Structure 1
Amino acid sequence: MVKVLVADNHPIVRIGLETTLNESNEVEVIASVSTTSELFSILSIKQPDIILLEMDIPEVNGITALRKLKKDFPNSNVLIFSAQAEDVYALSTLRAGASGYVSKTASIDTLLSAIKKVAGGGMFITNELAQRLAFDESTNKPRKLFRKLSTREVEVLKLLSLGKRNKQVAEELGLNEKTVSTYKARLMRKLNVDNMVDMLQQAKALELY
């Protein structure tokens, strides 16, 4: 039996996942949480085989929470379960230590397959995503530009896109303001823009907000 911990901010999603996954003969939801503080608190007590982590869980953004999980609990298997654009965020979360990425639009069979694959030591991404990562569509310039960005740059861009100031971004990511300014300069260069308005337009094209 694969033991799963669900970390998602939405009560209906948590209840739905618990009910559906527990109906399987192979999966058991042993706990569910709605914030990162609850997540790290319960991990000191329970040891799930899989952590099903929502990208936009409150308090700490998903990639930062993922990094902390892999640092504090290096043997944890994290499966990202998110409504965010798969081909934008999947690669960043895999780089940060996730064992897989499943869209919230996926079927329950796909989710169960992902859970079992990760529990068995594998990594899960959809065939569609694998194809998109392998072959850049020549007409999809925003996606191609995105692939030049590091995981940390994606984090900074997302927070800036949400209207956060340099100081707020620095506090959330554990950086100093000067470093955030450096990331902004890198983002503008990599996204071929010379001002914040155009950079945020690129972020919108990448479906970061």
Structure 2
Amino acid sequence: MIQVLIADNHPVVRLGVRNALQSAEDIRLMGDVGTTSELFNVLQDKQPDVLLMELDIPEINGIAALRKLKQEYPDVQVLIYSGQSEDVYALSTIRSGASGYLSKTATMDYLQDAIRKVAQGGMFITNELAQRLAFDEGTQKPRRFFRKLSTREVEVLKMLASGKRNKEVAQGLNLNEKTVSTYKARLMKKLNVDNMVDLLQQAKALELY
């Protein structure tokens, strides 16, 4: 029996996933949480086989929470379940320890299959995502730039794109402001821009906001 824990701040989503998993004889829901503090409190007592986690779960940045979780509970397989653009965030989450990335537009049967695959130690990404990662079509030029970015650079860019100032980015990612400025300079160089307006345009092209 695959033990699953849901971490999502939307009660309706948690209810929908619970109902969807009830039909699977080999999957058992051990609970659900809405914040990272609730998540880590639950994990202190019992670890699931698979954690189904929303990327934008409140309190701790989703990727930062993923890193912390994999450091403290390496045996928990994490399946990211998100409405964020998968061809941008899937690589970042997988680099940070996730076993798969699934869009919230996926069918419930697809969700069950993804849970089974990561529970067995496999990696789950959609065929469409695999194709986008493998080929750079002319209409996907921004994606080529994206693959030059580190996970931390993507985090910084996302926060800047959401309107955060350097100080807020530093606090959110546990960095100092000087380091954030360094990341901004790197981002401009890698994304081939020389000002914040163009940098935010690139973030928009990457669907970061």
TM-score, normalization: structure 1?
Answer: 0.98
Counterpart Cα distance in 2 of 1:73 and 1:180: 29
What does residue 81 of structure 2 align with? 81
Letter of the 1:61 counterpart: N
What does residue 174 of structure 2 align with? 174
TM-superposed deviation, 1:109: 1.1
Give 1:35-46 correspondences, 5 Å limit.
35-46=35-46
**Counterpart secondary structure, 2:51:** strand
CA deviation profile, 1:143-178 (whole Å, cap 9, x unmatched): 111111000000000011111111111111111111
What does residue 3 of structure 2 align with? 3
CA deviation profile, 1:7-28 (whole Å, cap 9, x unmatched): 0011100011111112211111
CA deviation profile, 1:172-199 (whole Å, cap 9, x unmatched): 1111111111101000111111111111
Give 1:130-209 correspondences, 5 Å limit.
130-209=130-209
CA deviation profile, 1:52-84 (whole Å, cap 9, x unmatched): 010111111211111111111122210000000
Query: After TM superposition, which residue ranges in structure 1, 4 or more long, deviate above 2 angstroms?
Result: none
**Counterpart secondary structure, 1:84:** coil
Taking only aligned residues, the RMSD between alpha carbons, in angstroms, comes to 0.9
- When the two structures are aligned, how many residues end up with a matched partner? 209
TM-superposed deviation, 1:138: 2.4
Letter of the 1:15 counterpart: L
Unaligned stretches of 5+ residues in structure 2: none
Counterpart Cα distance in 1 of 2:152 and 2:130: 22
Give 1:33-72 correspondences, 5 Å limit.
33-72=33-72
Counterpart Cα distance in 1 of 2:22 and 2:156: 37
Identical counterparts, % of pairs: 70
TM-superposed deviation, 1:131: 1.0
Unaligned stretches of 5+ residues in structure 1: none
